[in-house]
Amino acid sequence: MRVMISGGGTGGHIYPALALIERMQQRDLLDAVLYVGTKRGLESKIVPDQGIDFKTLEIQGFKRSMNMKGIKTNIKTIQLFLRSVKEAKEMIKTFKPDIVIGTGGYVSGALLYAASRLKVPTLIHEQNSAAGVTNRFLARFVDKVAISFESVSDQFPMHKIVLTGNPRAQQVAGMLPNERLSEFGLKTDSPTVLVFGGSRGAPSINQAFIDAVPALNTREYQVLFVSGRVHFDDVQAQLKTMTLNDNLAVVPYINDMPEILPDLKAIVGRAGATSLAEITALGIPSILIPSPYVTNDHQTKNAESLVKEDAAILIPEAQLTGDKLVQSLDTLLATPDSQQAMAKAAKKMGIPDASDRIIEVINTII
């Protein structure tokens, strides 16, 4: 099978695409794969490092502001889109894919639209509980829409929807504890919580952790705190005047973070689609602090999907304090029965064979 795939801008679009490619390779289904992204997006660094052929289109998003600057930007956006569609058609004619897949981001809009005009089979994947702008646009043109949350189904044509889950889940579903916590100076036999604010970190979560340190020093559970590289120096400066007991570890970033997930009792973090796919695949209780700075507030909607099933606790960022963080952790970790119930509910929401389900959908449309 020859596959063209595109997902750009954020890890939430890129990692599901890579997970699907990996699974297709494992099943020996790929004759060739070409990933289409942008030069400036995160995908331009991540995808080539995976040994995957990579080409780029120049494209940008629309500005909501309708002042003169915004209007000029949007005119350029339309021009870039039309040019990218033309370039994408040439890529498709040259590569001759059996299917073209989009996982979100503006660049996938140009590629998938071009493929639909050329009558090449198409599939898009929506990771979130609120559909992205690009996928909403593409839904009318593509053959199938794979979704991760049932709650997003009313935002797409019903006859095109297939509930598959997020391919990222299949990458982590079979992981087992591997005692990597010792790398951070933590015990491997003590209940441990991971606190992090996404790949770049989140100032609000960082500050809540710093404020909570005096109380966390006295707890029997451990906390592995990830500040994000860009915030690490600032966090370290604030922690210089404080005592950190050996049940706390502070790091800027963790490579291969999914590997440590099976060793955790709980996670505190954002509610991005990739994180939730991992959490539900492994059945990990979570305290979710959705980012209020994302399109359509989709992280809150993602989190609410878990809260509705008693699979997570939600703390709005505006209500987050050090005291609130400690109180929530104490409540979760001090009651094993509720912790186990939350873990069970989270795992019930997971779809561990997501990539295989998407492959089944692909086979119905090519």
Binding site, by residue number, is 10-12, 128, 199, 254, 299
Q: Is residue 198 left, alpha or beta, with left meaning phi > 0 and alpha meaning psi from -120 to 50?
A: left
Determine the Cα–Cα distance for residues 325 and 268; give it in Å rounded to an integer.
9
**Which residues, in sequence order, are CB contacts of 92 under 8 Å at separation 6+?**
4, 100, 111, 114, 115, 118, 120
User: What is Dmax (Cα atoms) for the chain?
Assistant: 64
Determine the Cα–Cα distance for residues 113 and 318; give it in Å rounded to an integer.
39
**Which residues, in sequence order, are CB contacts of 124 under 8 Å at separation 6+?**
101, 102, 103, 104, 108, 112, 135, 138, 139, 142, 144, 145, 146
Q: CA of 118: how far to CAs of 115, 127, 146, 209, in Å? A: 5, 26, 21, 52
Determine the Cα–Cα distance for residues 259 and 175; give it in Å rounded to an integer.
7
Tokens found for residue 50: 């995976």
H helix intervals, 132-195? 133-138, 167-172
Determine the Cα–Cα distance for residues 78 and 75; give it in Å rounded to an integer.
5
Radius of gyration of the chain (CA): 21
- Which residues participate in the annotated binding site for UDP-N-acetyl-alpha-D-glucosamine? 10-12, 128, 199, 254, 299
Residue in the block written with tokens 């005592």? 243
Q: Is 9 helix (H, G, I), strand (E, B) or coil?
A: coil
